[in-house]
Structure 1
Amino acid sequence: MTDTTTPLIELRGITKRFGGVTALNDVSLSILPGEIHCLAGENGSGKSTIIKVISGVYHPDAGEILIDGKPAGTLDPVKSTAAGIQVIYQDFSLFPTLSVAENLTLNSFLREGAAIVDRARGRRMAAEVLERLGVTLPLDAAVETLPTSGRQLVAIARAVLADARLIIMDEPTTALTGREVERLFRITRDLQAHGIAVLFVSHKMREMLDLSERLTVFRNGRKVAEGPIADFDEAAITRAMTGRDLEATRFDTPPRTADAPRIEFRNVSVPGELNDISLSIWPGEVVGVSGLIGSGRTELALTAFGMKPGFSGQILLDGQPVNPRSVDQAIRAGIAYVPEDRLSEGLFLPRSISDNSIAASIGRFVSGPWLDRRAAAQATRDMFDRMAIAAPSPAVPVATLSGGNQQRVVIGRWLMTGAKVLILNGPTVGVDVGSKATIHAIIHRMAREEGLAVLMISDDVPELVANCGRVVTMQHGAITGELQGAALTEDALNDSIRLNPGVTA
């Protein structure tokens, strides 16, 4: 019988320094066999560092690690894995060109020291572990062809196949739809039923409250709160994570004073993607779009941004047809688009904040073959202050910033173009609660002061309800409903999405 009173892993007084920076300061943490334990904290709080200490990637400068109540000595990745500890990082660490079955079983064959891979046995092993998890995946499909949720399932199944006793999930719901999150939670509880502990690392408070049994909160490298999940609510978690109270704000929609909508879609269609879309957004207004992957929400954004040149119908700005057929036309018309994946689509990570900031408006600073560096630097400094970016200077690489500050750079870049319309696809994906509140406030200030029209696409229902005067729902490329005013509640929006479930990828 499994001893559920002795921690599977226990960290006592862990301190970790990088040069003059203390990433972890006298941190203690224990995880019991078969428990679902949530680790919360803002970006930079020490969550990633503690994961790497547990997995043996980092060696602490002080403190002790015990496994099953016995001192573990100096952990390295091999010893950590042998103890049954598996980490599922946000990139999943899979081989994209190998099949599902190969990704699942390769490590098993390597541990066995097999000289020849028994493919038939590998397929049986893969099929058995997927059946155990209650999921179906094509065994012969290359992992790179799977959606994010499918790749995540492969990573979880691989950990189970490696006889995991503790699975650490690092921000596992960042790119998942609501339905996919529900499936992940079901699988997580099934892992628990089989005696596998889960350390669920997140900054999404509702997920913490729904899933975990115990919660630990880090702030600035210290443990600041810990206890049964029943001892917490959203306000208490927010206070522990940020050190201050963040009031739940619902932003007001300004009155309409313009003669025409800032942007208007009239009967816009894209073969196989959009079907007769009509939608208007007025100056200063924030309108939300909700719907699962495949519903057409991203296709609507890309059409407005000139990336679907074959569309029919009309797109108007301030009452005048613009009908952008290229990205350049859209930018010149005053339409800006912040993509959902800022890391692969929105930023030049090795480059500085300055270089990233002027990328979309560089024409303003170029005369002949020359770049007016003084004007570009001044514009960047203005944006830097306007977006409240926390960094030593605009010269630092954007890769060194937290997720929230990176997102502010992307949004600020587009505001530097003088945009009239800002399309935000997942505006706070991977952003902690403090930065999320700041980004929302900035968006509304710009909308109110500059007459910006904002189209906000999000899976985060509370985010849509708090920020949007209206939210439209989409399914199969068509608008299926609209909620506004007092009718726009979280329950009503969730019900609308369920009634119009769209297509999950």
Structure 2
Amino acid sequence: MSRPTNVNPLVEAAGIVKRYGPTVALQDGRLTVLPGESHALVGRNGAGKSTLVTVLTGLQAPDAGTVRFDGEPAPPLADRDAWRRKVACVYQKPTVVPELTVAENLFINRQPTGRGGLISWRRLHKEAAEVLQTWDVHVDPEARTADLKVEDRQMVEIARALSFGARFIVLDEPTAQLDNKEIDRLFTRMRALQESGVTFLFISHHLQEVYEVCQTVTVLRDARWITTAPVAELPRGALVEAMAGEAVTEQATARTAVPADAPVMLSVEGLAGDAYAPVDLTVRGGEVVGLAGTSGSGKIEFAETIAGLRTPVSGTARIAGEPLPFGDVQAALRAGVGCVPRDRHEQGLVPGMTIGDNTTMSVLGRLGRYGFIGTDRKRGFARELIQRLDIHAEGPDQPVSDLSGGNAQKVVMARALASDPRLLVLINPTAGVDVKSKESLLRRMDSARDDGTAVLVVSDELDDLRRCDRVLVLYHGEVVAEHAAGWHDHELIASIEGVDSAEATQGTEGVDLHG
């Protein structure tokens, strides 16, 4: 079924370009959304989806290109009321004020007033009830928003947007925090709202959801528009190929098999947390195991549990046969766990300290006794780490805040390796670094493997995962697939996006991926 050609677009973006300094976040953004449809916007991390949304919602102006609503140019950025009447975005993390009631959130900063300019609470609750009834949102207007379920908070946000007059709603990863029943209810509500004249832009990493709830899909890749097509006419394999691009033909390099008698360094049994279901896992010495999945898959939460940053709901873990303490980073460090956390700025570095202080803070006990640490010994140890990690710096006394992103990340890696860990946990280890630094960091991961260290690496980057002996894929908190070294990109992406591997390899012939 082709899209109708005689219907004027509700939203149209053409030739959108957005740069942040030397970084091109969007080179050729295009989107045409027809009235009353649910239109999917998909692409891997870094494809340009978030940048396009900031332009579509008036948060930023494009450097080039145009946005039109109902055939008219988009309002000026400063006219926020005009933008609210056109479009609203419901983000993965709710933007409602949790301590306020539903009614207060619906009419925040525009409460009806009575005599003397005071808020008329009676009118507020009455008008809130009318808004909720109009859009079939079954929540109590006087309920505290913090007490609502995630799906109900999302519907309150949608109702608030609709009450401004907007009929174009962007849903950014709306299912990331929902279980299957809640997802089904959300999709039922979306269909009902569509019948009432509401149009959705649906952003999701879960491709099966695109096929379930959307009529049209647009694919971005490498900051460019790739294709727009009716969902019914685009087989899942073709959609995965459009997202993966030329990399679909690339294959991960096979690794030398880890000896079967290699000692088990990490043993996990039934480990479960708020974001992931019970997981069983073993990682042997000299083995690199990757964890892949979308932002809501639970992969980061699992890795942070192993690193001592979180406490699980149930289950056990052992390091070299000894129980692993949870929720205590120092105890995990003493047990033999080194970690590169997901955010070097918030979790990895102390910006007011030097490179030497940052690299050695995890091993101060080795560098001195009774709390006395020789400055020369500490500086010499730091110099060894700087050389080992190829950190481009003046020396150990240079402030870490002076370093580039790549060298700063090397400092975080240096500290993780300084303690000679038995298990190295790497969470997005190459995020936000240049190509040369990325390769240097991955070589350090290879070196740790060769030295017999067990490595658990969580990443959204295929190049990082290509260095793994095997990759486990988490989907909605459950391990759904395992890929041995030598996997093809489209196979792994299909697992990450929740597409059956057989579907991902079929149906690509004869499909025009450039619309």
TM class by smaller structure: 0.5 to 0.7
Unaligned runs of 5+ in 2: 393-398, 485-491, 499-515
Q: Offset at 1:331?
A: 0.4
Q: Offset at 1:29?
A: 3.2
Name the CA distance, whole Å, in 2 between partners of 1:142 and 1:359: 45
Name the CA distance, whole Å, in 2 between partners of 1:23 and 1:312: 42
Partner of 1:497: none
Partner of 2:240: 234
Q: Offset at 1:311?
A: 9.7
Q: Percent identity?
A: 27
Name the CA distance, whole Å, in 2 between partners of 1:33 and 1:353: 56
Partner of 1:200: 202
Cα distance per residue 1:190-249 (max 9 Å; x no partner): 4433332222345665655654613142534xx34222043442122211xxx6446465
Q: Offset at 1:381?
A: 7.6
Change (3 A) 1:347 1:306: closer
Q: 1:347–1:356: 8 Å Cα contact kept in structure 2?
A: no
Change (3 A) 1:77 1:191: farther
Candidates 110, 113, 120, aligned match of 1:116: 120
Name the CA distance, whole Å, in 2 between partners of 1:349 and 1:380: 17
Partner of 2:226: 225
Mapping 1:152-301, distance limit 5 Å: 152-173=154-175, 184-202=186-204, 208=210, 211=214, 213-217=216-220, 219-220=222-223, 223-228=224-229, 229=231, 230-231=233-234, 232-239=238-245, 244-245=247-248, 247=250, 254-258=257-261, 260-264=263-267, 280-285=282-287, 286=289
Q: Offset at 1:136?
A: 6.2
Name the CA distance, whole Å, in 2 between partners of 1:354 and 1:191: 55
Q: Which has the larger radius of gyration?
A: 2
Cα distance per residue 1:236-268 (max 9 Å; x no partner): 2211xxx64464659779444446421346x99
Q: 1:11–1:64: 8 Å Cα contact kept in structure 2?
A: yes
Q: Offset at 1:120?
A: 3.2
Name the CA distance, whole Å, in 1 between partners of 2:360 and 2:37: 47
Cα distance per residue 1:35-56 (max 9 Å; x no partner): 2333345555544343233222
Q: 1:380–1:394: 8 Å Cα contact kept in structure 2?
A: no
Q: 2:473–2:479: 8 Å Cα contact kept in structure 1?
A: yes
Q: 2:35–2:197: 8 Å Cα contact kept in structure 1?
A: yes
Q: Offset at 1:334?
A: 1.2
Name the CA distance, whole Å, in 1 between partners of 2:440 and 2:183: 24
- Which residue type is aligned with residue 39 of structure 1? L
Name the CA distance, whole Å, in 2 between partners of 1:411 and 1:21: 25
Report whether the alignment pairs 1:140 with 2:143: yes
TM-score, normalization by structure 1? 0.62
Candidates 66, 70, 93, aligned match of 2:72: 70
Name the CA distance, whole Å, in 1 between partners of 2:458 and 2:258: 22
Change (3 A) 1:309 1:51: closer
Aligned-partner SS, 1:164: coil
Mapping 1:324-363, distance limit 5 Å: 324=325, 326-336=328-338, 342=343, 346=347, 358=359, 361=362, 363=364
- Which residue type is aligned with residue 420 of structure 1? R
Name the CA distance, whole Å, in 2 between partners of 1:103 and 1:411: 44
Partner of 1:8: 10
Partner of 1:93: 95
Name the CA distance, whole Å, in 1 between partners of 2:205 and 2:408: 17
Matched length: 459
Cα distance per residue 1:134-163 (max 9 Å; x no partner): x768962343x6676665444334323433
Name the CA distance, whole Å, in 2 between partners of 1:170 and 1:351: 36
TM-score, normalization by structure 2? 0.61
Cα distance per residue 1:388-413 (max 9 Å; x no partner): xxxxx985789x89xxx999997786
